A and B are shown apart, each in its own frame.
Chain A
Amino acid sequence: MRASQINHGLDFMRDAFNEASKLWWRFFDWLAVVEWRQLFLTWFLAVVFCIILNMPEPAFWYVLISFGVKVLAGGKRRAELVAKEATMQANVATLERRLMEAQMAALQAQVEPHFLFNTLALIGQLIETDPQEAARVHAHLIEYLRSTLPQMRARDGGTLGKQVELSKAYLSIMQARMKDRLGVRFEVPDFLGSAPFPPMMLQTLIENSIKHGLEPKIAGGTVTVRAYVDGATLHVEVCDDGIGIDPHADDGIGLANIRERLQLLYGANAELVIHTPPAGGACALIKLPYKMMETA
C-alpha cells in the first residue's frame, strides 16, 4: 500500500517536473526569438501589473531573468531554431524537386500514338507509290523517335542547333502528310546553333501549333520558328497563323511541363509567354538567359 502511494507520488513529481521543464524551454525558445521591442512591452506590463498589486519582486525577477537569458543564450538558441527551419525547408525543396523530376521523366516520353500510326501508314503507302519519298519520311521518323524516346535520347541534345534539327525532321514528316496545307519557316541565325537549350521544348511548341492551330484549320497555314538574342536573353519563338487559342481549352500537360522545367533549370530567369498577335494565330515564346559563348 505505502509503496504504491510513494510510486504515485513519484509519478506525479516526475510529471510535474516534465511539465515545468517543457514550459521553461518553451519560454526559453520564445525569449530567443522574440523581438526586443515586444520583450520591453511585456516588461512594462509586468511592472505596471505588479505595482498595482503592490508586490514588485516577481516583476523584477522576470525582467532580470529574461534579460539575462536573452543576452547570454538567445543568440545561440535562435541560430539553432533558424537552422532547423532551414533544414526543414531544404528537405521539402529536395522532395519537391525529386517529385518533379519523376513527373518530368514520365512526361517526356510523349510520342503520340496518332502521329506514329499515321506516319507509318504514310510510309506504307509511299513504299508503293514513291519509294524515294518513303525512304525520306522513314529517315525523318527515326530521327524524330531518337530524340523523343527518353531512353534513346542523345546525350548532346541540349543545344538549340540540335533541337532545331529535330524539329525540322518532325516538320518534314508533317509536310509529307499535310502537303501544301503546312508551310514552315525557320529564322534561326547560325551562331545560335551552339547555344544551350533544353530538349523537347521547341518540339512541344511546334506540335501544339500544328495540332491545335493548323490541323483543325481547313486551309492550313505556316509555322514560323524564330530565335534571337536581346541583351542577355535568348528568345525562341514558335508562331502559327492557325485558328488561335480557345480560352476554354485546357493548356495541356505540354506547356505546364515546359513551365516547370524552366522554373527548375533557371528559376525566375526564364519564362514561357503565350500571346496572340493582332493578325490571329498563336505565338509561344521561351525566354532564357543567354551567355556569350566562351569563344576559344
Chain B
Amino acid sequence: MLTLGTKPLTAMIADDEAPMRDLLRARLAAVWPELRIVAEAANGVEAVALGEQHQPDIAFLDIRMPGLNGIEAARRLYQRSHIVFATAYDQYALDAFEQGALDYLLKPVSAERLATTCARVRSRMKTPFPTQPDIGQQLAKLTSLLEHKGQEKPKTGYLRWIQAQVGASLRMVSTREVLFFQSDEKYTRVQTASAEFLIRKTLKELAEELDPDEFWRIHRSTLVRVDAIGEVARDLRGRHMLRLRGHPFELEVSRNHTYLFQQM
C-alpha cells in the first residue's frame, strides 16, 4: 500500500544455492506481492554485475557465496540498493547486524520473520537515501570480521605448504611434516619423517616466509622445526649437536645460535 501510486519496488536475490533462492522468491511473493524480482544471482560477482545493471531498490544477499561474499558485494551495492543479508548460521555476523541495525534474514526464511523484515524495509524506503547511516563503515568492519573468524591462530600470511616437484606433479608438503630444512649447494633439502625433497627456494627465502615460532634457525644452513627438537648436547669436539625427538637426525648448532638453547 505504501508503494501505491508510485512505480513498484524492485529486488534482487543473491544466493549460491538454488533451492534457497526459490524459497525466498516464493515467500516474498506471499508477503510482498507488489515487489518485483528483477534479478537472481548465483554468486557474489554476478550479484555485483546484476546489481549495477538493474539497480534494484532492495538486494537480498547471502553471506557465504563464491567469488565475492555477500558483505563484499554489499560494499559495492549499498549506495544504490537497500541491503538485506541472509544467512543460515553466522553468529558473529548476526551480532554485528543487530548492533549496526542492519536488516537480515535467518535461513530457512519463515513467513512471519520475512513479513517483519519487509515491513521494516518498507518504512525505511519511505525516507530518501541515505536510509542506513554509516553502512559503509559497518560493512568494512564486517569484512575484517569475516576474514579473521574461524582461525584459532591470528597469525596469517606465513608459508604453510612447501611445493616440491616430484615427477610430473607438484607435491605439497605441509610445514607440519617438515623436520628441518638444510641448504645443499644449489638446492634446499626438505626432510620429513619419511622422505626428503629438494626444492629451489633458498634457506634465506624460507626463513623470511616461514613462521618464526614454527622454525628456528640453528645454523647458517639449517632451519629446524621447534616441535621436533629433542635435546642439545655437546659432542667430543665441543660442538653443540641437536637431536630430534624420535628421529635419527643430528644437526649442528652454530656458535652464534647456541643462545637459543640456554637455560633449557
- The answer to whether A and B interact is yes
User: Which A positions have Cβ atoms within 8 angstroms of B?
Assistant: 113-114, 116-118, 120-122, 124-126, 128-129, 176-179, 181, 215-218, 245-251, 255-256, 259, 268, 271, 273-278, 282-283
A217 near B66 with CB under 8 A, answer yes
B23 near A218 with CB under 8 A, answer no
- Grouping DSSP codes into helix (H, G, I), strand (E, B) and loop, the B interface class, with mixed when no group exceeds half, is loop
Total contacting residues, chain B, CB less than 8 A: 40
**Cα-based distance from A105 to B193 in the complex (angstroms):** 24
**Cα-based distance from A125 to B23 in the complex (angstroms):** 6
Contact A129 to B19, CB < 8 A, known contacts A121-B88, A275-B169: yes
Contact A247 to B169, CB < 8 A, known contacts A129-B22, A216-B66, A268-B193: no
**Cα-based distance from A69 to B166 in the complex (angstroms):** 57
User: Which B positions have Cβ atoms within 8 angstroms of A?
Assistant: 16-20, 22-23, 26, 43, 45, 64, 66-67, 88-89, 107-108, 151, 153, 156-163, 166, 168-177, 193-194
Contact A276 to B170, CB < 8 A, known contacts A248-B156, A251-B161: yes
A218 near B159 with CB under 8 A, answer no
Which residues does chain B contribute within 8 Å of A118, judged by CB atoms?
17, 88-89, 107
| B236 CB to nearest chain A CB (Å) | 10
Which residues does chain A contribute within 8 Å of B67, judged by CB atoms?
218
B151 near A250 with CB under 8 A, answer yes
Which residues does chain A contribute within 8 Å of B157, judged by CB atoms?
248
Residue from B43, B64, B173 in contact with A218 in the complex, judged by beta carbons closer than 8 Å: B43
Contact A121 to B169, CB < 8 A, known contacts A218-B45, A247-B160, A248-B156: no
Closest to B195 in A: A271
Which of the listed residues A129, A215, A246, A251 has the most CB atoms from chain B within 10 Å of its own CB? A251
| B18 CB to nearest chain A CB (Å) | 5
**Cα-based distance from A282 to B26 in the complex (angstroms):** 38
A215 near B161 with CB under 8 A, answer no
A129 near B161 with CB under 8 A, answer no
